[in-house]
Structures are given as C-alpha cells and as structure tokens.
Structure 1
Amino acid sequence: MKPIYVQIAEWLENEILNHRIQAHDKMYSQYQLAELFNINPATAGKGITKLLDDDLIYKKRGLGTFVSDEARLRIIQKRKEETLQTLIDELVLEADYLNVSDDELIERINQARKGGSYDG
C-alpha cells in the first residue's frame, strides 16, 4: 500500500486530470485536506510538497498554492511514462506466460476500450 501522502498527491493529481481543479485555481490547504481525509495536517502537507516538487503547483506568498499552467499535461506525461508503461510491461509478460498472441492481445484491448468483454 502506498503511503498516505502519496495517495493524497495522487488524489490531487486526479482532481486536476478530471478538470475539477484548473490551472491557476487555488489548491486545497494542508488543513483542508487533513479535515477532508481525517489525517494529520503534516501528512497532507507532504502530499502538497510532492506536487510542489513536481512543479504541478506553485506558491504565492500569503495567498496559498495554485495549480501551474502545465500541471495537467505534466501529469499525463508522467503517468504515460511511469504508470502506463509499467502496466503494459506486466500485461505483455502475462500474455507471454499464457501464450496469447499479439493479435489476440490487441483485440482484447480494443474490446475493452469499447466496454465489452472478449468473446474469442
């Protein structure tokens, strides 16, 4: 299981990806997050710091933290490079174990994108 502060950072990233928080919108404070998730404010602060370190948010002295212009694009790129690639590597390895051909694997992916189950 991921540390809570990482879960908080990923939740905030999802809020940005889903357009619930836009570029230049004010980000939740550590105290708001602590109350929302019933966690220690320091833990929430670590989640915010992770986003600061990734240049997804920026601070305005005395005003709080705000979503950077390129936050959504950076999150998409990061997840393509890290998360999606890991999932693809695992999928291909499992398909090899099960002797699933490339054509069948692609057909299964296409079917999943359409929202149906594979009937092959």
Structure 2
Amino acid sequence: MSKLFEEDKPIYIQIREKIEDQIINKQLKEGHQAPSTNQLVNFYKINHVTVSKGVNQLVDEGILYKKRGIGMFVAEGARELLIQKRKESFIEDYVLKLIQEANKLDISENEIIGYIKKIKGSDTI
C-alpha cells in the first residue's frame, strides 16, 4: 500500500478526508471544480472503485456536486457544513473521552483548562 495512506483506515475514507481537508483549508473553494475521479486514481495510483466510493459519499452529503460532462464541483456552504460536522466529531471523539477520563482521575475543570493552555502555548504541537 502507498505510504500516502494509513493502514488502519479504509482508503476510500482517507480519500474523502483528503478532499474534505482541502475544502476546509480553502485549497478547494466553493463553486470551484474539484479533482476528477480519474485525476485522483492517477495521482494516488489506486482503484477507480475505491476513489468513487469516497467521492460519491461527498456527493450524497451535498459537499460536492456533479455537472454532467464537465466534472465535480464544491457545493456552496460545503466548508461550513464540513466544519460543523468535524466539530461534532471532535466533541464525540476527544472532548467527551477527555471529560470522562478527567472525572475518573478527579481532575477539575480548571486543571483541564490549565493543561490545555500549557500544551497549546508550548512548542510540542
């Protein structure tokens, strides 16, 4: 497998996330054309079906839309939709677990905030 991909996550999800990241980072702007499935297949050297699965999920969610015979485009409002989705996922995947573990260890809210400020202000990130 290419070193561009993690082994513990399906490639189609990673393709999807790469496109999402480009939209969030404004590398792909709303209303502009996104890379075609063929371009992604050639760039990443992976199966067409794999790429299509990730791209089609973005189409199904209204992040991308197809213009027949022209290509794939980033939908208006896609960036905000992705940011909101990622924030919800961040809360579920990280904040909730952080709070649960802090409660087990009897770490106060102020201590948690102090740790976050200390780490965020350091050179470790």
Q: Are residue 69 (structure 1) and residue 76 (structure 2) matched?
A: yes
Task: Check conservation: 1:24, 1:69, Cα contact below 8 A.
Answer: yes
Task: Check conservation: 1:6, 1:47, Cα contact below 8 A.
Answer: yes
| TM-aligned CA deviation for residue 100 of structure 1 | 1.7
**1:1-120 matches, cutoff 5 A:** 1-115=8-122
Structure 2 gap segments, 5+ residues each? 1-7
What's the TM-score once normalised by structure 1's chain length? 0.89
CA distance in 1, matches of 2:86, 2:66: 24
| TM-aligned CA deviation for residue 29 of structure 1 | 1.1
What's the TM-score once normalised by structure 2's chain length? 0.85
CA distance in 2, matches of 1:99, 1:116: 27
Residue 102 of structure 2 aligns with an amino acid whose one-letter code is: A
CA distance in 1, matches of 2:38, 2:25: 23
Residue 23 of structure 2 aligns with an amino acid whose one-letter code is: I
Runs of 4+ that moved beyond 6 A? none
RMSD, aligned CA = 1.5
Residue 13 of structure 1 aligns with an amino acid whose one-letter code is: E
Q: Give the total of aligned pairs.
A: 117
Task: Check conservation: 1:9, 1:48, Cα contact below 8 A.
Answer: yes
CA distance in 2, matches of 1:23, 1:90: 33
Task: Check conservation: 1:30, 1:42, Cα contact below 8 A.
Answer: no
Task: Quote the sequence identity (%).
Answer: 38
CA distance in 1, matches of 2:122, 2:67: 43
Aligned pair in 2 of structure 1 residues 48, 79: CA closer, same or farther (>3 Å)? same
Task: Check conservation: 1:13, 1:75, Cα contact below 8 A.
Answer: yes
